[in-house]
Structure 1
């Protein structure tokens, strides 16, 4: 009886825990559904490269604020202590020790002035505040505008990182769709081969077909299976690459929604509406910002020939004693305020050579910009030509799929009626598979070329 009660209790516990166990199993098997827009959103928020670029912008902004700080007064607290090892000796020529009489000056008896008088004390203490502030400094003022350009350049570099990331994610997403579509094509081919094999085996058992046809059908199934497995492996690798770009755990299950066929309707429209101007190209924009920096640097270097004027001030307390009885120290205040004028006269030609060096760098930047623009224009022409070729390939492949599908149905009917051979049906099925793969490949090639074109043009579309 006791054993029965224990068994009932165990059953009750299992029934209570069963819903939670089922729920945890479902949670573990959740699959993240991804479309292109969602993939780009995750990449732009989670990818380490984009985060580093954003941190660089933040760092440059702090650097700019640090440059502006040079315009404000600089106040420092100082404290110094020195120990006198050998005191200074003071000589006073013409000093009348007797005050005009034969009697020596009171307090100076026994002092031989020819040997001098030691002055100072063993311990010397100084503490106080120092102040400095630029009043006229053209070089400093110009450096502020250069620091502002540093922020602009870092923002453009961050935009470049995001554009590059969008391009990589798009191509990786298209690669997943291509691998997925290829897997479906090979799976369909395998299913057709298996269906044909089972049909031929049934006919062979009935004695209506030869053993050779059964062997050929079996070989066709065996040959289709490796292609299907390879396509499945390619799909897994493509998903791993996409998850790495998105900054996701490689073990997380994802499913990319859509097919390459979904982009068929936009092929011709995108090709005809492509804007090939380089106004948004990030490489040219960065070069232009660097050129502006060089121009401002050149102006700043020329300002080094101008005088500078600064304000200085000091308030200190001094104390000297021969012991360390601080309560007996007499602290004497000392303060000054003034202006300091610096007029550069000669520096060994360093300013002149810096100016010449900057001018050469500007000339190099001009040559680099021309070369970059020329290469970008060449890349645009190549991408346009690739897109044009892909459109033609898509048109031909689409017609090829229609004809291959019709041919496969005819070959299948001919074989069923005994008018055709198994070889004809296998050839028709192979032609259909190749036509479908060509169609998917043409769409993929077009979308990749389009994505590369958007990167060159500096477009930031996320769909």
Structure 2
């Protein structure tokens, strides 16, 4: 046994020297410090803030629909085969006469007038004889029209003048931003709860380490006394062996408690969003929160769900659905928009750009669209949204009921642990007194080592129960504050 105690002493001395060397780099954190760091470093909070920014951009994109939409265009077309135009059939075709038969009726009165003049005056007017032109093809071949190169450049603009659906969609975009803000607030509340619970868990682990360390110190002290008595034959070998066993049994508990402290600090650093290799330590104890337990439980008796994030999100979603239904009803209304277009055209057979003749073309107009029939789509869209709104209302009622039950459970947990703390506080005082009496009796030989170990066990259980009661109370309080929407940021402004 002499080898066990010096060995542990060496380990502890190395640990203490390492802690002393790293003390300058260790960051001491209070609960408020941990929360402030988490609000700036936690990944969930950063993602929620980015979601708000994304919703703001989406809202601005919707508002851009109110402004004129201006576009420029340009095109070039190369004709491979020109279009052919036919002026009509030949004179001998059935039912035709072509161009000659068409113009014959027009010139008949003129011919009649000229013939009358010739008869009265006796002047002979020779008839017109057209020159003979060698035709390359018959009249049935048609005439090729158009140019080889066609250029078109222009600017067009359109702007809605009357569009009720568009106006309602702007309101829905604003509600989307409100929903993103509330979701970000929910992420902050959840993060604050996680940091608080991790901080309380680290305090509990440190206090458990202190309790088990005290048990080990008492076991070592009792072993030294028993060993001294055993050497002078005032203690039996059984007592000496039990003292050695008590020391050996206390060592694993100390190691396990140290591991629990390290894991609790890792968990705290993880929820804070800092580097896991960062050397941090926490300041305070669970006993610091014991004095305010009675006040805390009575402050939260008259709770309300007005600031509960889940209920507020459901309310915003209900507003969005109501706005969506109105927007779908507005689909029955006409829309009016203004349009403008200006373009320049050029058609040539060559690529002499400086000699091109550009022809402008422009117009301004109004476009009126009146919805008449869509196969019932608009009607069924409205019905679908109304059913969805009814589903959301049922979900809201059920969520409110579940939240009230959860709040009652948290309050009951807080009250139970407050009573447990009061009883354990008295139990710790009695266990300390009993241990002191037993230790003094053991020193004078009136009590056995078994009695002393029993007193130590009762004292250990009482101290752990006291710390556990405060921890359970604070964890339930943190969950309750998240449930009722108590914001750490708003409380510290």
TM-score by length of 1: 0.90
Q: How many residues align?
A: 439
Q: What displacement does 1:117 show?
A: 2.3
Q: What displacement does 1:103 show?
A: 6.4
The match for 1:173 among 199, 221, 236 is: 199
SS of the residue corresponding to residue 311 of structure 1 reads strand
Q: Does 1:46 align with 2:41?
A: yes
**Equivalence for 2:396:** 369
Query: Alpha carbons of 1:26 and 1:111: their partners in 2 closer, same or farther (altered >3 Å)?
Result: farther
Q: What displacement does 1:322 show?
A: 2.4
SS of the residue corresponding to residue 160 of structure 2 reads strand
**Separation (CA, whole Å) in 2 of partners of 1:125 and 1:28:** 79
**Equivalence for 1:35:** 30
Q: Does 1:244 align with 2:270?
A: yes
**Separation (CA, whole Å) in 1 of partners of 2:399 and 2:299:** 25
Q: Does 1:162 align with 2:157?
A: no
**Equivalence for 1:276:** 303
**Equivalence for 1:340:** 367
Q: Does 1:434 align with 2:429?
A: no
SS of the residue corresponding to residue 25 of structure 2 reads coil
**Equivalence for 2:76:** 81
Of 437-446 and 121-130, the range deviating more from structure 2 = 121-130
The match for 1:298 among 295, 301, 325 is: 325
Map 1:124-273 → 2, pairs under 5 A: 124-273=150-299
**Equivalence for 1:6:** none
Query: Alpha carbons of 1:338 and 1:443: their partners in 2 closer, same or farther (altered >3 Å)?
Result: same
Q: Does 1:57 align with 2:52?
A: yes
**Separation (CA, whole Å) in 2 of partners of 1:63 and 1:457:** 31
SS of the residue corresponding to residue 245 of structure 1 reads helix
Q: Does 1:425 align with 2:420?
A: no
Query: Alpha carbons of 1:427 and 1:324: their partners in 2 closer, same or farther (altered >3 Å)?
Result: same
Q: Does 1:119 align with 2:114?
A: no
**Equivalence for 1:400:** 427
**Separation (CA, whole Å) in 1 of partners of 2:255 and 2:21:** 27
**Separation (CA, whole Å) in 2 of partners of 1:78 and 1:208:** 110
Q: What displacement does 1:66 show?
A: 0.7
Superposition CA RMSD, Å: 2.3
Cα-to-partner distance string for 1:187-219 (whole Å, 9 max, x where unaligned): 011111111111111221222211211111110
Q: Does 1:444 align with 2:444?
A: no
Q: What displacement does 1:350 show?
A: 1.1
**Separation (CA, whole Å) in 2 of partners of 1:109 and 1:147:** 72
TM-score by length of 2: 0.85
**Separation (CA, whole Å) in 2 of partners of 1:215 and 1:339:** 104
Q: Does 1:319 align with 2:346?
A: yes
Unaligned runs of 5+ in 2: 1-19, 89-97, 108-126
Q: What displacement does 1:308 show?
A: 0.4
Matched-pair contact (CA < 8 Å) for 1:98–1:104: no
Matched-pair contact (CA < 8 Å) for 1:319–1:329: yes
**Separation (CA, whole Å) in 1 of partners of 2:138 and 2:374:** 50
Q: Does 1:459 align with 2:459?
A: no
**Separation (CA, whole Å) in 1 of partners of 2:292 and 2:130:** 115
**Separation (CA, whole Å) in 2 of partners of 1:447 and 1:362:** 38
Q: Does 1:67 align with 2:93?
A: no
